[in-house]
Amino acid sequence: MDSASALAGAPVADLQKPICIAIHAMGGQGGGVLADWIVALAEDNGWVAQSTSVPGVAQRTGATIYYIEMLPARLGGNRGAPVLALTPVPGEVDVVIAAELMEAGRAIQRNFVTPENTTLIASSHRSYAVVEKIVPGNGIANAEQVLEAGRKAAKRFLYFDMAAEAERNNSVISAVLLGALAGAEVLPFDRGAFEATIRKGGVGVETSLRAFAGGYGRIRQPPPAADVAKPLPALPQNSGHTALDRLLDRVRQELPEPAHAMVFAGLRRVVDFQDVAYGGEYLDRLAAVATLDRAGRGFPLTVEAARQVAVAMCYDDVIRVADLKTRASRFDRVRGEVDAAPDQLVYMTEFMHPRIEEVCGTLPAALGRAIENTPWLFKALGRIVDRGRRVKTGTVGWFLVLYVLAGMQRFRRSTLRHGEETAHIAAWLDLVRTMAARNYDLAVEIVKCRRLVKGYSDTHARGLGKFDRVVAAAQCLADRPDAADWVRRLRDAALLDEEGKALDGALKTVASL
């Protein structure tokens, strides 16, 4: 049943007991404003309402729960003021409003959502939690599982991307949520009463009303279809740049057609990282891999190499970090995220903790290697360099420091770090070519193992260590018919935790084979 059909059969509220509403919202989403609007709405229409809030432990590790109970004032009569509860009771909540999809999931886990009583209204967008971001692999929770749980757990489940609707109207999500609540018709107040409450607030009225209207209209439409992965852009005929067009011609002539979309995505990345000549080096490496591939299988070796070689060539060094932090597009994006007005100043403070290893990696190869090979000097410089810094990129001084570092891109090929990365890529692809002749499936899995190496500083060092251990095991397993399966299991284990404990256990299993 879609949302519009569900509205036609909306139950009439039992006014002999309070209407119970629980709002789950994170910091900055206006959950308190939404709760205040609902209380004001009830009171302006002759009802008694009470709201309480229970804050989460910290932003994005626990949402604040706002709880509202309301009932008509006449039920108090001569018996005095009604007694309303301070916290939601599992099984007794009539409406749950979630300002983010996983907060809807948490409401379901707490048994606030029941198929007998509850209308669940949720935004389907995601704001990733810390526990999702710190996983070395893909730690993002499965949104479809939450949607499916909502369909089963709630009497009615109404949802769409309310954050996008708020952004379209240059407003905040709380106004869209209020519109969705009005459109769901679970409260005995008409649309005009809701809009009057917004007007009475007197702050951001016009933008809030637009966002309210968007939420009101969208919630009455059928639920959106499941998200589909965004396809890669097709290889264009030309780019309008002579040197780049020559690279595009090479892609068409030297690489199989099924890999063209991925190759083009990787080519854009490496050219942005360094220059057009670097793009040529990228295609050289892929062409060597493509000669080993098999047409009958869809060229998986070349397709995966196109992805992983691009990532490997665009390693995170100090120059890259400085470049990304000083780009105008980043300042524009942050201004948009905080919804800054044109006349408002926005300052960003970056926490940076470079190690002496990163400093040496940015130096000319001979000088950087000389410092690393001189223990007393390496240690002495480390005491100066190796400490956390709060860098304010909005100030002239710090911006110029990062801008100069970003400008060192033209000298990157002469740095110690570039030499090390180039040697590592060459050794990795040599191993892939060797294995492809013995065990094609294993060669594909070894290519995929490069995703273990990412980030910079300690993160890069840990990932590189995991990569080396998995690849060493792969070479020991090369003659087994199930070698590819074992390498895939080892890679998955390496991505489970930052410390590598799961990988340790998996390697012990492999050693016992």
Q: End of a domain among 156, 186, 219?
A: 219
Residue of 488 and 393 predicted with greater confidence: 488
Q: What pLDDT, on a 0 to 100 scale, did the predictor assign at position 74?
A: 66
The pLDDT tens digits for 154-182 are 999 999 999 999 989 888 899 999 999 99
Structure confidence at residue 407 (pLDDT) = 94
The pLDDT, as a whole number, for residue 20 is: 95
Measured distance between the N- and C-terminal CA atoms of the chain, rounded to whole angstroms? 53
Q: From 26, 22, 57, select the one nearest 128 (Cα to Cα).
A: 26
Q: 142: phi > 0 → left, psi -120 to 50 → alpha, else beta; which?
A: beta
Report pLDDT for 225: 66
Q: Distances from the Cα of 97 to the Cαs of 39, 103, 197, 512, in angstroms?
A: 15, 9, 18, 52
Distance in angstroms (rounded) separating the CA atoms of residues 39 and 211: 19
pLDDT band of residue 69 (cuts 50, 70, 90) is very high
Provide the pLDDT for residue 86. 87
Residue 6's pLDDT band (cuts 50, 70, 90): very low
Helix (H, G, I), strand (E, B) or coil at 64: strand
CA atoms within a 13 Å half-sphere pointing along the CA-CB vector of 438 = 19
Q: Say what the pLDDT of residue 128 is.
A: 78
Residue 506 to residue 490: CA distance in whole angstroms: 6
Give per-residue pLDDT as tens, 288-306. 999 988 766 779 999 999 9
Mean pLDDT of the chain: 87
> How does pLDDT run across 407-422, given as a tens digit for each residue?
999 999 999 999 999 9
CA distance 416 to 478: 33
Confidence tier at 13 by pLDDT (50, 70, 90): very low
**Total domains present in the chain:** 2
In a domain, residue 296? The reply is no
Query: Do the domain assignments include residue 438?
Result: yes
Going by C-alpha positions, the residue among 133, 82, 137, 91 that lies closest to residue 115 is 91
β-pair partners for 64: 25
Whether pLDDT at 385 is above 80 = yes
pLDDT mean over 83-92: 86
Query: The dihedral of CA 288, 261, 424, 243: what is its sign?
Result: positive
Q: Which of 157, 139, 137 is nearest to 148 (CA)?
A: 157
Give the residue, 1 or 188, on which the prediction is more confident: 188
Assess if residue 300 is contained within a domain: no
Give the domain range for residue 40. Answer: 3-219
Is 449 among the domain residues? yes
With pLDDT > 90 as the criterion, what percentage of the chain qualifies? 58
pLDDT of residue 409: 94
Residue 402 has pLDDT above 70, yes or no: yes
How many C-beta neighbours within 10 Å does residue 352 have? 16
Residues of the chain with pLDDT > 70, as a percent, come to 92
Q: How much is the pTM?
A: 0.73
* Radius of gyration for the chain, computed over Cα atoms and rounded to the nearest angstrom: 29
What does the alpha-carbon distance between residue 109 and residue 72 come to, in Å, rounded to a whole number? 31
Degrees to nearest 5, angle at CA 466 with 464 and 467: 65
Higher per-residue confidence, 114 vs 83: 114
The predicted model gives 90-110 an average pLDDT of 91
CB atoms within 10 A of CB 230: 6
Type of residue numbered 41: L
Give the pair of three-digit tokens for residue 26.
Answer: 């994170």
At 142 the three-state DSSP class reads coil
pLDDT computed for residue 126 by the predictor = 85
Tokens standing for 500? 């590598």
pLDDT on residue 228 = 47
- Is residue 444 a part of any domain in this protein? yes
Q: Grade residue 59 by pLDDT with cuts at 50, 70 and 90.
A: very low
**What integer pLDDT is reported at residue 475 of this predicted model?**
92
Does residue 3 have a pLDDT over 70?
no
**pLDDT of 11:** 41
Q: Which residues contact 47 (CB under 8 A, 6 or more apart)?
A: 70, 71, 72, 73
Does 132 reside within a domain?
yes
How much is the pLDDT for 83?
79
Residue among 121, 98, 176 nearest 10 (CA): 121
Distance (Å, rounded) from C-alpha 290 to C-alpha 255?
6
User: Read out DSSP for 394-417?
Assistant: TSHHHHHHHHHHHHGGGGGGGBHH
Give the pLDDT of residue 53: 87
On the question of pLDDT at 185 being above 80, the answer is yes
Report whether pLDDT(10) > 50.
Answer: no
pLDDT 10s digits, 307-348? 999 999 999 999 999 999 999 998 888 887 777 888 888 888
Which contacts (CB < 8 Å, 24+ apart) does range 146-150 have?
146/101, 146/102, 146/104, 146/105, 146/108, 147/101, 147/226, 149/105, 149/108, 150/104, 150/105, 150/108, 150/113, 150/120, 150/122
Q: Which of 26-30, 201-205, 359-363 has the lowest mean pLDDT?
A: 26-30
46: left (phi over 0), alpha (psi -120 to 50) or beta: left
pLDDT higher than 80, residue 131? no
pLDDT for the residue numbered 8: 41
Highest-confidence segment of 2-11, 217-226, 390-399 = 390-399
Q: Name which residue leads in pLDDT, 228 or 122.
A: 122
Establish if 322 belongs to a structural domain.
no
Distance of alpha carbon 229 from the chain centroid: 14
Distance between alpha carbon 272 and the CA centroid of its chain, in Å? 22
* CATH code for position 36: 3.40.920.10
Final residue in a domain of this structure, among 202, 219, 236: 219
Which SS3 state, helix, strand or coil, does residue 130 take?
A: helix
CB atoms within 10 A of CB 509: 12
3-class state of residue 309 by DSSP: helix
**Assigned domain for 196 exists:** yes
